[in-house]
Amino acid sequence: MQGDLQNKVQEVLDRAVEHGTECGCQAALFINGELVVNAYAGHTDWTRTKKVDENTIFPIYSTGKAPSSTVLHRLVEKGIISYDTRVGDVWPEFACNGKEDIRVWHVLAYRCGLFDIPQLEKPELDADWDYMLMRMAQAKPAYPPGFKQQYHAWTYGWLTGGIACKVLGNNDYAEVFRKEVGEPAGMDRFFYGIDTEAEQNAATLVSSLAGSNYGQNLVDQMNNPLYRRCCNPSTCAMSNALSIAKHYAALDTGKLLKRETMDNVSKSWRGDDDPMPLTAGRWALFGLGYVLSGPTENVGQIFGHGGVGGSEGLLDKKRHYAIAFTRNVFADPNVLTKFYAAIDFKNRDWPDTSEVPQQS
């Protein structure tokens, strides 16, 4: 069966590249902690001069949010912080402008009202970690803590990362991540800011052969070395599919979090009186840092996070499937559908490509 799954997925990827709907892509699947699919196809850009291999790094955007959430869960398990800790107690500059009572769980559950992107003097300042932490500390929330659950497309990584750095007294978030999550999970090709060596085998984001301009601004941004090398867990993560899948496999096997923690963070943390509608076609239901999916009777059975353009990682707790997909072209969302059909995976129901910053 396992060899059959590998062959089926490899065929899906090969055909997508052959038909031009994908330039380069990877897919990985662990079942019960065992790697059963490690497929890849295509090239790092449309020149087709360099082939994608299992170690090729892809920009994965918000797929990087989930591992950043896991960092905070690890710190809670260690007793270094609690979900009910006031953020301002560990990050004193944060306790102003209506943020004085924001708790760690408000941030993780997307219920802190800090989804607005700060207005910057220069656009490239959003690649400056220290500057953006300062701006988040100064920010004013759009509503009182806990009022409603709303996706924080760009700001989430500065918030989660800032909390972790402040509580540990270490402002190098990439190092914090490696120690708390990356190394224990074996995520050797996952980066919040790639180095020169990793960049030698990194895919370039490209537009589709069909000529679509969808996402062109993000394509241009993520091909800029400034953003590839900066630290923003919300939008600038880079990884191969194997490392993303290793994160979820480590969650599934207990290497990263205890089972009771897993059950707590993968349940809905949306308030019963939340005025935000559960609109179809958008990420609207969250646990503590993870998008929830799955069958209606057990929506937290499947959780994870996707990124604009089609990368994603997730875990099915019941079937013990840890899954990841990466790609470098804004193109056909049906490739993901075909990948999931090949491994007989269902109930993943968040959108393939929608990740637009949401304003109030």
Q: Is the pLDDT of residue 150 over 50?
A: yes
Q: How far apart are the C-alpha atoms of 286 and 243, rounded to whole Å?
A: 23
Region of 279 please: left (phi>0), alpha (psi -120 to 50) or beta.
Answer: beta
Any idea which of 84-93, 150-159, 202-211, 261-270 has the lowest mean pLDDT? 202-211
Q: Per the confidence metrics, is the pTM higher than 0.95?
A: no
Q: What is the mean pLDDT of residues 152-160?
A: 95
Mean pLDDT score of the chain, rounded to an integer? 89
Q: Where does residue 319 rank: exposed (0-12), middle (13-18), buried (19+ CB within 10 A)?
A: middle
Token pair, residue 23, equals 């330039």
Token pair, residue 308, equals 């604009």
Give the count of domains, the chain: 1
Contact 299, 268 (CB under 8 A): yes
pLDDT tens readout for residues 217-251: 777 778 888 989 999 999 899 999 999 999 999 99
The separation between CA 40 and the C-alpha centre of its own chain, rounded to angstroms, equals: 20
pLDDT for 279 equals 56
Closest CA to 269 of 117, 73, 75, 116: 73
The C-alpha R_g of the chain, in whole angstroms, comes to 19
Region of 32 please: left (phi>0), alpha (psi -120 to 50) or beta.
Answer: left
Higher pLDDT, 124 or 1: 124
Highest mean pLDDT among 120-129, 135-144, 328-337: 135-144
Contact 163, 104 (CB under 8 A): yes
pLDDT for 123 equals 85
pLDDT for 322 equals 98
Tell me the CB-side half-sphere exposure of residue 311, using CA atoms within 13 A: 32
Extended beta strands in 47-171, E state: 58-61
Contact 21, 354 (CB under 8 A): no
Q: Are strands 206-207 and 329-330 parallel, antiparallel or unpaired?
A: parallel
Q: How far apart are the C-alpha atoms of 247 and 331, rounded to whole Å?
A: 26
| Domain span including residue 146 | 1-360
Q: Is the pLDDT of residue 355 over 90?
A: no
pLDDT tens readout for residues 105-124: 999 999 999 999 888 889 88
Any idea which of 34-43, 66-75, 203-212, 247-256 has the lowest mean pLDDT? 203-212
Tell me the CB-side half-sphere exposure of residue 214, using CA atoms within 13 A: 16
Counting every residue, how long is the chain? Answer: 360
CATH of the domain at 170: 3.40.710.10
pLDDT tens readout for residues 167-208: 999 999 999 999 999 999 999 999 999 988 889 999 998 877
Q: How far apart are the C-alpha atoms of 27 and 4, rounded to whole Å?
A: 15
